[in-house]
Amino acid sequence: MRSLVLVALVACSAAADPARPLSPPDPPRRDPNLKPEPGVAPASPELRVKNLVDRYRAAVGLPAVTLDPVLSKGCMEHAEYMRLNKDGEAMRGLNAHQQRPSLPGATPEGAKCGKAADLFPGVSDLEVAVDGWMAGLYHRRPILDPTLAKIGVGYSKLPDGSYMAALMFVDGKDNASADKWPVAYPADKQGDIPLDFGNEVPNPVPGGGRAGYPITIQFPAFDKVTGVTAKLDMVAAGSGGGAGAGKPVPFHLSDPEHPATSFGQYGVVCLIPKLPLQPRTTYRASVTATWKGTTKTHSWAFTTLSLRAVDAHDEAAVVKSLNIASTLKGTVLHGGMMDSDTAFLQIGERQLKNYKMISVLIPLATWRELGGKPERFVGKTIEVDGTPHLVQGVYINVQITVASQLRIVR
């Protein structure tokens, strides 16, 4: 039921230099006060993942999970299987969840993990993987299941410093959390909510495009949930100067009776905003559904994060902003088409100390809306709203979705 895979971020316009693999920077959520579990090193990646999962669950009033070393062993084996077969057909789409016994690294325990885990191939950091899973419809569900009791964490490092990551779930036997249903996320009155939908397979966004951060309310996986209607409104706008406040926000609705894909919905009602959410803005979601024979309306509000101002010419500042929603400001050096679907603009310094380039990645339709010619931008200073990601250990990419995320300032 939990077989899902999250795709890696789009690579930059040039191939990575395998002779100079670089490790990603220190993860942004290292907490020196975290208490280790028995048999787990205090600063281990497994413990950091467990604590981040616990923080997401605590936000909606759910109990912490147990990090199980036996499950983690199987997940480590499956992550290694993913690494050894990363360039083959066995890692395409949902194939990564089904080990093939004849392939390198296949093990019985690893196969068990693959069938019951969220997977993320080629992620810069394990905590980034958790954030990515939470930015999707299908991957979020098991993390916020009230019955979740134990997790296993596995990872295998690639030559470019990124990881193959796996997070396995095992439910508990008791009904102590039965009163926690339904579970809405983002939680009521929660702040610092991200803006964008993640890269998820299967992709529930119509047309396979990008969208805003998903808003979900989930019921028990096999309970009947019917008659769903929903609303999403902007209550108060921040950086937009109030524009749009009080107006409905267009979204795609995926629910158990009308799922976005052929993949099971398993009790989740999901609102996917058609555009990225605006920073420093409060939204109110409202979902009406019939569950256990009772029709009820659930309403809650949340506020999105503020963007961090970053000088794209300051390499150290850009590195510190990795995986953090930001506004990068810098001069455009050159640009063009990365492939038939994506344009890019290189910004900042031409020669970096530890990385090859900083690029803004732009979907073709958005590129055309912006004029579709690199010479319009070369030599100009731009601001771009997005989240910098490290790709292949040497490229820093900022991917945008809509034209308003990129502005010429001089």
Alpha helices in 88-125 (DSSP H): 108-115
Percentage of the chain beyond pLDDT 90 is: 77
- Backbone phi, psi, residue 126, to 5°: -65, -35
On whether the 308-408 domain is CATH 2.40.30.10, my answer is no
d(CA 134, CA 156): 21
Model pLDDT, residue 31: 33
CATH label, 183-304, candidates 2.102.10.10, 2.40.40.20, 3.40.50.170, 2.60.40.1220: 2.60.40.1220
pLDDT band, very low/low/confident/very high, at 307 (cuts 50, 70, 90): very high
d(CA 231, CA 288): 9
Residue 101, SS3 per DSSP: coil
Q: Provide long-range contacts, Cβ within 8 A and 24+ apart, for 345-349.
A: 345/374, 345/377, 345/382, 347/312, 347/382, 347/384, 348/312, 348/313, 348/315, 348/318, 349/313, 349/315
Model pLDDT, residue 243: 58
Half-sphere exposure of 11 (CA within 13 A, CB side): 12
Same fold, 183-304 and 308-408: no
| CATH code for the structural domain at 45-171 | 3.40.33.10
How far does CA 363 lie from the centroid of its chain? 18
Does the pLDDT of residue 20 top 70, yes or no?
no
Give Dmax (Cα) for the chain.
64
Q: What is the pLDDT of residues 276-293, one digit of tens each?
A: 999 999 999 999 999 999
Task: Specify whether the CB–CB gap between 352 and 315 falls below 8 A.
Answer: yes
Number of residues that this document lists for the chain: 410
Q: What is the pLDDT of residues 331-371, one digit of tens each?
A: 999 999 999 999 999 999 999 999 999 999 999 999 999 99
Alpha helices in 21-120 (DSSP H): 45-59, 69-84, 108-115
Residues 175-190 have a mean pLDDT of 90
Model pLDDT, residue 37: 52
Q: Which helix (H) or strand (E) holds 390?
A: strand 388-391
Residues 18-22 have a mean pLDDT of 23
Domain boundaries, the chain: 45-171, 183-304, 308-408
**Inter-axis angle of helices 69-84 and 108-115, to 10 degrees?**
90
